[in-house]
Amino acid sequence: MQNNAMRELLKLSCNAKTRSGHPCKSATVKGKKRCRMHGGTNNGAPKGNMNSFKHGYYTKENIVKRSEVHKLIKEWKKLSQELEGDY
Ligand SMILES: [Zn+2]
């Protein structure tokens, strides 16, 4: 019983890296992954914020495009292996 309670506590702890290098043990803000001191109450940047935009490599569209290309490459490799197996 006590072990389960400890596990629940660990699951709900912030675990952000503190200045001493240890994980933060404070409870998380409800519905968030971090405690109030480590950004749990911060909503993040507003939608459309371009403050950290450099080259667009990590934009949603580019991430989707890359994953589609990777899928195509995977399919092509599978097909080429199947064709080679025929001979
Ligand atoms: Zn914390």
Q: Kindly give the distance from the C-alpha atom of residue 24 to the centroid of ligand 1, in angstroms, as a whole number.
A: 5
Q: Kindly give the distance from the C-alpha atom of residue 52 to the centroid of ligand 1, in angstroms, as a whole number.
A: 24
Distance CA 7, CA 21 (A): 21
Overall pTM > 0.85: no
Q: What percent of the chain has pLDDT over 70?
A: 85
List, in sequence order, every residue forming a beta bridge with 27; answer none if it has no partner.
13
Q: Kindly give the distance from the C-alpha atom of residue 16 to the centroid of ligand 1, in angstroms, as a whole number.
A: 5
Q: Kindly give the distance from the C-alpha atom of residue 43 to the centroid of ligand 1, in angstroms, as a whole number.
A: 16
Mean pLDDT of 33-48: 92
Q: Kindly give the distance from the C-alpha atom of residue 33 to the centroid of ligand 1, in angstroms, as a whole number.
A: 9
Amino acid letter for position 27: A
The full set of domain ranges for the chain reads 1-41, 57-87
Question: 2-19, pLDDT tens digit by residue?
Answer: 666 665 666 689 999 999
